[in-house]
Amino acid sequence: MIKLEIFSLNPFQENTFLVWDDITLEAMVVDPGCSNENEEKIVSNKIAELNLKIKYLINTHCHVDHVLGNKFIKEKYNCEFYAPELDIPLLERLVDQAEMFGVRTEPSPLPDKYLTEELFLLLGDCKMNFLFTPGHTPGEYCIIFEKDKICISGDVLFLEGIGRTDLWGGDYNTLINSIENKLFVLNDDFMVYPGHGDKTTIAHEKNNNPFLK
């Protein structure tokens, strides 16, 4: 069974996810937003407390607030790093992105491999796959645990909201299409864990999201 711990980090209050299999304790960090040593300690102390084995680092997309902790996680845990290929221009300009918002950071490493819809990864016996959901960025992916009915939605879908499309590479119609044709075909009882704010469900967003009525 999949377990999650969520940390709201950095000036953007971004949700960093620690995700693990409760039997093997194999784990991954999704969208590490650690922007300083204190936030790095918050995440690493929890990993140590739970005795987790970090297997993967995954970026759903490469906006500054979701990748500030890439270097720390990759170097500390020597884990396999996955990110969207179409978002690499954003990742390569991390320092420039950060400076625009008055945040200091170091360059991110580049991923070991790219996310694709053909890819599946395992935490213990828990299988995850990936849905290509562009619109907020050109390359964004959502992470799906079919058996546990969990969707980690990055900045695609929020509780009664959607991702911004006024940033580089964003496109409103593309984003709406991603949600309607990739996420809203999931079962209604899927839990959705977004990159900011509270969790929701597919059913709730179908019935209550003002952008999707």
Instruction: Give the pLDDT score at 199.
Output: 98
Instruction: Give the pLDDT score at 168.
Output: 84
Residue 97 lies in a domain: yes
Residue 71 lies in a domain: yes
> What is the gyration radius of the CA atoms in the chain, in angstroms?
16
Angstrom CA distances, 38 to 35, 70, 95, 196, stand at 8, 15, 20, 20
Residue 166 lies in a domain: no
For the chain, residues with pLDDT lower than 70 are: none
Q: CB of 88 within 8 A of CB of 156? A: no
User: For residue 86, what is the domain's CATH number?
Assistant: 3.60.15.10
Q: Residue 127: which domain range? A: 2-153
Structural tokens at position 188: 């209604």
Residue 196 lies in a domain: no
Number of domains forming the structure of the chain: 1
Q: What is the pTM of this model?
A: 0.97
Residue 190 lies in a domain: no
- Residue 156 has phi, psi (to 5 degrees) of -85, -55
Residue 212 lies in a domain: no
- Residue 111 has phi, psi (to 5 degrees) of -65, 155
Instruction: Give the pLDDT score at 11.
Output: 95
Q: Is residue 24 exposed (0-12), middle (13-18) or buried (19+ Cβ within 10 Å)?
A: middle
Q: CB of 18 within 8 A of CB of 11? A: no
Instruction: Give the pLDDT score at 213.
Output: 79
Residue 163 lies in a domain: no
13-54 residue pLDDT tens: 999 999 999 999 999 999 999 999 999 999 999 999 999 999
Give the Cα separation of 23 and 126 in Å (integer).
Answer: 10
Q: Is residue 199 exposed (0-12), middle (13-18) or buried (19+ Cβ within 10 Å)?
A: middle
Residue 23 lies in a domain: yes
